[in-house]
Amino acid sequence: MLTLYHGSTSVCSQKVRVGLAELGLSYDSVVLDLQRGDQFDPDYRKLNPSAVVPTLVDDGLVVVESSLILDYLDRKMGAGQLSPKGDVAEVTTAHWMLRTLDIHAAINTLSFSTVARDRIRAKKTSEQIAQDLERMPDPVSRLKRLSLLEGGLDSVHVTQALLILHRAFTDMQAALEAHDWMMGAAFSKVDVALIAYVDRLDRLGFSGLWLTEFPAIDGWLRAMQSRQSYATGIAAFADPVASETLRQSGAHYWLDLEERWLKLP
């Protein structure tokens, strides 16, 4: 039996849950409260020393990193149904799966420089924030989080995030102008791997990042949101009131973010 340790609104957890739904796989669910700090529990860190989610356990085998989990599930239990065949398709798929590491970092940056920053600073004292940062095992991630919480959209990480997203959206637009799905006519794990990130930007009220320059992305997003796997893996874990609060909070940042987006080289 599969056991998935995950966070309800974690984008990486969302993409694995969408993959599980697409493959029709059942699993034992262990939801961690990330705001409470469940990911730092010593027992969980034995499974995932990086103290992040998700983590998949399959008969004692521990699999971490969401893209790796997707690939593992599709190969072992999905007969490769989400994996395009042929040299070009396989290389392109692998490249997109690698790129999600940078895309995830970009989404993390835009979240913690805006809405998450406001939430944390409103609920916690400087001392509590410092204690939370000290619990993060990766010193580089710790310094990045500090930069975002202190500088907001003025953090150097924001420009890097926008550059990463612009390159990704440029390539997504080219792919989706030619076909309905990222890898062609057939739905694939690349679509699964990207949906949670684009959906998070949409939920933050940042869809203006693609609506004008990369309109094919919006059609793809709506098609993804209409799939049962989205309902099961993302929508089912989203609190409607919290989702509306997220969008309203993000709207306060849009004009500033748009100005920075339009100034990219």
CATH number, domain with residue 37: 3.40.30.10
Task: Categorise residue 179: left if φ over 0, alpha if ψ from -120 to 50, beta otherwise.
Answer: beta
Say yes or no: 72 and 137 in one domain: no
Confidence class of residue 185 from pLDDT cuts 50, 70 and 90?
very high
pLDDT of residue 25: 98
Say yes or no: 152 and 233 in one domain: yes
The mean pLDDT value for 180-189 works out to 97
Say yes or no: 205 and 228 in one domain: yes
Residues 6 or more apart in contact with residue 81 via CB below 8 angstroms: 23, 74
The mean pLDDT value for 118-141 works out to 96
pLDDT of residue 181: 98
Comparing CA positions, the residue from 84, 58, 60, 59 lying closest to residue 72 is 58
Confidence class of residue 172 from pLDDT cuts 50, 70 and 90?
very high
Number of domains in the chain: 2
Q: pLDDT tens for residues 235-244?
A: 999 999 999 9
Say yes or no: 17 and 123 in one domain: no
pLDDT of residue 138: 96
Say yes or no: 71 and 125 in one domain: no
- Is 82 domain-assigned? no
Range of the structural domain that residue 138 is part of: 87-262
The mean pLDDT value for 109-131 works out to 97
181 CB neighbour count, 10 Å cutoff: 17
pLDDT of residue 34: 96
Say yes or no: 188 and 113 in one domain: yes
Say yes or no: 27 and 151 in one domain: no
Say yes or no: 17 and 110 in one domain: no
pLDDT of residue 4: 98
Beta bridge partners of 31: 6
The DSSP H or E segment spanning 60 is none
The DSSP-derived string for 93-148 is HHHHHHHHHHHHHHHHHHHHTTHHHHHHHHHS-HHHHHHHHHH-S-HHHHHHHHHH
Helices (H) and strands (E) in the chain, counts: 14, 4
Domain boundary among 29, 55, 77: 77
Domain boundary among 53, 77, 101: 77
- Is 56 domain-assigned? yes
pLDDT of residue 26: 97
Contact 199, 107 (CB under 8 A): no
pLDDT of residue 66: 98
Is the torsion defined by CA of 136, 137, 143, 144 positive or negative? negative
Q: pLDDT tens for residues 4-50?
A: 999 999 999 999 999 999 999 999 999 999 999 999 999 999 999 99
Q: How far apart are CA 111 and CA 246, in angstroms?
A: 10
Domain of 198: which CATH number?
Answer: 1.20.1050.10
Say yes or no: 124 and 237 in one domain: yes
Contact 16, 66 (CB under 8 A): yes
Say yes or no: 51 and 104 in one domain: no
pLDDT of residue 260: 98
Percent of the chain residues past pLDDT 90, beyond the cut: 99
Q: What is the pTM of this model?
A: 0.96
Contact 160, 168 (CB under 8 A): no
Domain boundary among 50, 77, 104: 77
Task: Tell me the C-alpha to C-alpha distance, in Å, between residue 84 and each of 37, 194, 195.
Answer: 38, 16, 18
Confidence class of residue 227 from pLDDT cuts 50, 70 and 90?
very high
Say yes or no: 244 and 145 in one domain: yes
Confidence class of residue 203 from pLDDT cuts 50, 70 and 90?
very high
